[in-house]
Structure 1
Amino acid sequence: MVFRIMTGALLMAAFAVHAAPNPPYACSYWDKQTDSVKTLDECAVLKEGKLVFLPALFAKTHDVDGMSWVGLHGYTRGAGEQDADYYVRSAHEYLPVIHFENGPDWFVEGLVRSTQNGKVGYWDDSFRNHIAARYDYASQFDGGKALVCIGCKPQREGEHISLSGGEWYYIDKSGQRISEIKSGPF
């Protein structure tokens, strides 16, 4: 009987801990008062497995074209993922984008790169998927085309990472293959 009571108490305690709200995540953001990057200790929380950005962020952040940049690196690192930045429109409307050159990937020719399940694709500024996330590497668009790879693998060389192998080609803005590459450029 004592064993059952102790087991029940432990299960209830474990459930209470698991059900407790997650602590807020800190973020970097572009501050509208100082026009510089600042840190906000309580920026976002997880609710029902989804990120929710807190009102304090929107009071402080600089809004460009109806969205703000947010770097939630502690959250992504804690989840065992690579750094990701987010473009955020509201508490529940956001798009994770590739962390590129110390900040968020930027929109080029109307599209930005984002990842889903470890693959790269392209989204527009309304956060609609424009080209499905199916590439292991994808460059920004330039002159209406982007270099992509399926099956390439990262190779660490000291502090640098290069890509090797895979099938390389260019796509147009509709995602159609437009030219082949004999071997990867990296």
Structure 2
Amino acid sequence: MEMRFRILSGALLMAAFSAHAAPNPVTVFSCAYWDKSTDNVEKLDKCVEVKDGKLKFLPALFAKTRDVEGMSWVGLYDYMRAAGLMDADYYVRSPESYLSVVHFDNGPDWFVEGLVRSRQNGKVGYWDDNFRNRIAPQFDYGWQFKEGRALVCNGCKPQKDGEHTALVGGEWFYIDKSGQKISDVKSGPF
């Protein structure tokens, strides 16, 4: 009996060690990027590695992409579609410094009044150009800032309108750059 226990314990330890020691697979995805030599959107087949759910942008991207104020735009459409998610755009500073931004009007959201929108865990928030969160992701949707305020909504729902999507219902209001509610809107304008 004791011998069986030792054999079984040894087998379990070997299986656990093998499972623990097995390398985590790395998956490589393509991306869209703005090419500095052609000044067009191009596709790079080996753009980003994904390991343990973390992205690492590859050196080939930085050799080709157009850099604007220390950032490059990258569209990770194949990666997102493989995960069953909607298209996503990123601003990238280095292989491991990046920010997912709202995909808007066929491309990445842009910085307006120093802030850009990002969707995190299903909610929209605002980040600065150093990828620091300035207004926590807490809104179902939010527009870009204009003259120091942004229109946001909670409880609004997307509704298809031909090839476009409108947002209906919910509570609509304006926020300031600190994220504080500054005025209500009686009904959603979109």
Q: Under a length normalisation based on structure 2, what TM-score does the superposition of the two structures give?
A: 0.86
Paired letter, 1:165: G
1:129 aligned onto 2:144 = no
Partner in structure 2 of residue 107 of structure 1: 111
CA drift of 1:160 comes to 2.3
Does the residue aligned with 2:129 lie in a helix, a strand or coil? coil
Unaligned runs of 5+ in 2: 1-11
Which protein has the larger Cα radius of gyration, Structure 1 or Structure 2? 2
Matched ranges for 1:6-17 at <5 A: none
Q: Which amino acid aligns with 1:92?
A: E
Using structure 1 for the length normalisation, give the TM-score.
Answer: 0.88
The separation in 2 between residues aligned to 1:76 and 1:183, in whole angstroms, is 33
Match of 2:183 in 1: 179
Partner deviation per Cα, 1:73-101 (whole Å, 9 max, x = no partner): 11112112221100000000000001111
Q: Which amino acid aligns with 1:70?
A: V
Q: Does 1:56 align with 2:54?
A: no
- Count matched residues: 175
Structure 1's consecutive aligned runs of 4 or more residues displaced over 2 angstroms after TM superposition are: 18-23, 157-160
Q: Which amino acid aligns with 2:160?
A: R
1:47 aligns with 2:56: no
State the 1:185 CA deviation: 1.1
Task: Measure how far apart 1:20 and its partner are.
Answer: 5.1
Unaligned stretches of 5+ in structure 1? 1-7
**How does 1:13-28 map onto structure 2 within 5 Å?**
19=23, 21-28=25-32
Conserved? CA contact 2:80–2:86, under 8 Å: yes
- Alpha-carbon distance in 2 for matches of 1:141, 1:156: 25
Correspondence for 2:86: 82
1:66 CA drift (Å) = 0.5
* Contact 2:139-2:154 at 8 Å conserved across structures: yes
Q: CA RMSD for the aligned pairs?
A: 1.9
Distance 2:162 2:110 in 1: 27
In 1, Cα distance between equivalents of 2:86 and 2:124: 13
